[in-house]
Chains A and B, each alone.
Chain A
Amino acid sequence: MEIKGSVVVEGIAAGFIRFFNQDYEKRIQGYVKESPEREKERFEKARQGAASDLNNLLKDREKLSESEGEILEAHQLLAEDMSLKETIVNYIEQGEAAPDGVLKAVSDFKAMFDDIDDEYLRERQKDIIDVGNRFLRKLLGMKEFSLEGDNIVLWAKDIEPSLMASLSEKQVKAILLESGSKTSHAVILAKAKGFVTMVGVSLSPEEISEGENVIVDANQGVIHFNPSEKEMEHCLALVKEQEEQKKFLEERAKLPARTKDGKSVTVAANISGAGDMEKAIALGCEGVGLFRTEFLFMDRDKLPTEEEQFLAYKGVTEQAAGNLCIIRTLDIGGDKPCKALSLTAEENPFLGFRAIRICLNQKEMFKTQLRAILRAGAYGKVGIMIPMVSSLWEILETKKLVEEVKGEMDAEKISYGKEVPLGIMVETPAASIMAPVFAKHVDFFSIGTNDLVQYTLAVDRGNQSVSYLYDYFNPAVLHSIHRIVTRAHEAGIWAGMCGEMAGDKLALPFLLALGIDELSMSPSQAPGVKEQIRNMDSGVCLDEILSLKDAGEVREYLRGLL
């Protein structure tokens, strides 16, 4: 049997299918509440069950890594914690069902953690959420999720980021998600870990049983179930070849990205936090081309403080060791919700109140972020990048705010980076058309292809029925990119790219022919891209590409160059 999906991280993997299906919501709906006395008993039994699971896990301490052991010990303490227990029991006494009591207590404590102005201590709220989930699983009769064995292909409707982060690259070979988003936090984590990843994969557990052999061909976007022995053998040979290739590329990752004819390109990293930096550096990224700060703002009830943001930005800047770190100001709204800013649902969120539009409306919040970025600038090379710009006013207004916060910090005698460049994401047709004007007011451009494609081609990137139109090789997009880079260079500023296209090897000849200065991508893509740059000439025939009439022709032409 074969199933198709859309590819996020290319590659081939072979292994056993495992399902991860933890739909708490649905089970809570089906939970039948009894008397408060009885609910208290049910909770106590669940709590003891969770505590004994933890004790059992800790019995095999030597099987765990040090950090896993420490986390489980912290969970063990929380499972026995009197305040947590009292809070849950209180809710139950007030008439809540046990699972709702757990959820409410967890959310109360989470709110207390949100208030802490120390990143490390605040992060411990993850423990309380995890322990709450352990209680819930016991109450709802759900099995504990644990991964045994190697060569696992994990399928899930969606995966919590914390679980994705905990998956081991040694055990898990591929991730298949039913949810279609290629930009969810979980997907970004999967990409950073380098798992072969596909989304939009619908499986019905009735048709496929756990443990079946599966081949994930994320080069072609196909998943084969129960392959023949011969197919499996063939696939394993490909996997081996792929792993050798990966090792070879990683060994060479730190060599510069310079074409055979001597043209250098900066290959930088797209990151969502300081935790991504170690890998980015190991994989040869020279600085950060896109720091997605929205993850500091999402999944929480309160906005992050200046101090918290400053520490996050400073952490990344320091690790970048002298390379430029471009910090994108808050890009929220559209497909990225933010609980802390009560945003209303919109008919057309991608054309609505999002990104810089929100920031210029919530000036205090924006100024807090600008201050934090500028302060981090005292510890290394930092750049500010504004997303979703569509008018000059947005640039001028932002620059005014930057001057304002600098004045304030001077008065407060707070040190900050004096030479922090300010650039924009070029991702709206308006910014592309106005590129020559905007270029006179900013220090750099970075092309965000994901949005540029969707706005230029009028195609919703999340809508499956029109996804065939979503293609950055559409000549309309290529001409737009050509215009952006050329106008930037005419104005004497540099132009980079930080969307999906920047990590696509097929696109490289075109981008290099344009003379693009920087390419920023998920770190796992960097070694391959750098190697390809080293093996090519920058001067392919640009006019020829720009004369092609549709995406199919462009792809064909570019394939011919590989």
Chain B
Amino acid sequence: MKTGTYTVNNKMGLHARPAAEIAKIAGKHKSAVTLLSGSKKANGKSVLMLTTLGAKKGTEITLQVEGEDEEEVFEILDDMFANSFHEE
């Protein structure tokens, strides 16, 4: 399993657009993707669950990827999180 911890840094937080991108990538791959924020846990393949995390700017998020293609999936998502979903 690969894990990483990030702080949400873009103004709008983990809103619909980044949630959709994460779900799209997770959905295309076999690995299980899980996001943790405080006591909340979300399946990375569900936009709805990702949005209910309510991760606004400043929230700490842990990413877990587990499965046969975890290296590849983690690399893509790690880049997204580390770069604030490419948003301001």
Which residues of A line the B interface, CB within 8 A? 70, 73-74, 77-78, 81-84, 109, 112-113, 115-118, 120-122, 124, 127-128
Contact = CB atoms under 8 A, between A and B. Distances in A.
B36 interface: no
B12 A109 contact: no
Contact of B49 (A83, A122, A124): A83
Contact of B47 (A70, A77, A122): A77
Given A120-B12, A120-B15, A121-B15, A81 B48 contact: yes
B56 interface: yes
Given A83-B49, A116-B54, A121 B13 contact: yes
A373 to B, nearest CB: 22
Contacts, number: 57
Contacts of A124: 15-16, 51
A83 B33 CA distance: 14
B29 to A, nearest CB: 14
Contact of A121 (B20, B49, B56): B56
B54 A82 contact: no
Interchain residue pairs A-B with the least CB separation, the first 6: A116-B54, A118-B56, A83-B46, A112-B52, A81-B48, A77-B47
A82 B46 contact: yes
Nearest to A84: B48
Interface in B47-70: 47-49, 51-52, 54-56
Contacts of A82: 43, 45-46
Contacts of A120: 12-13, 15, 56
B35 interface: no
B73 interface: no
B77 interface: no
A348 B54 CA distance: 40
Nearest to A128: B48
A560 B28 CA distance: 75
A70 to B, nearest CB: 7
A121 B48 contact: no
Given A118-B13, A121-B15, A124-B15, A81 B54 contact: no
A84 B49 CA distance: 9
Nearest to B23: A77
Nearest to B17: A70
A412 B51 CA distance: 32
Contacts of B48: 78, 81, 83-84, 109, 128
Interface residues of B, number: 18
A70 B52 contact: no
Given A77-B16, A83-B43, 9 more contacts: A70-B16, A73-B16, A81-B47, A115-B54, A118-B13, A121-B51, A121-B54, A124-B15, A128-B48
A73 B15 CA distance: 13
A116 B52 CA distance: 7
A124 B52 CA distance: 9
B56 A117 contact: yes
Nearest to B42: A83
A117 B57 CA distance: 11
22 contacts: A73-B16, A74-B20, A77-B16, A77-B23, A78-B47, A78-B48, A81-B23, A81-B47, A82-B43, A82-B46, A83-B49, A109-B48, A120-B12, A120-B15, A121-B13, A121-B15, A121-B51, A121-B56, A122-B54, A124-B15, A127-B16, A128-B48
Given A120-B15, A121-B13, A121-B15, A81 B46 contact: yes
Contacts of B55: 121
B34 to A, nearest CB: 13
A127 B15 CA distance: 12
A86 to B, nearest CB: 9
Contact of B54 (A70, A109, A117): A117
A518 to B, nearest CB: 36
A300 to B, nearest CB: 14
A74 B23 CA distance: 12
B55 to A, nearest CB: 8
Nearest to A70: B16
A118 B11 CA distance: 11
Interface string B1-38: 00000000000111110001001000000000000000
A74 B43 CA distance: 17
A77 B27 CA distance: 12
A118 B55 CA distance: 8
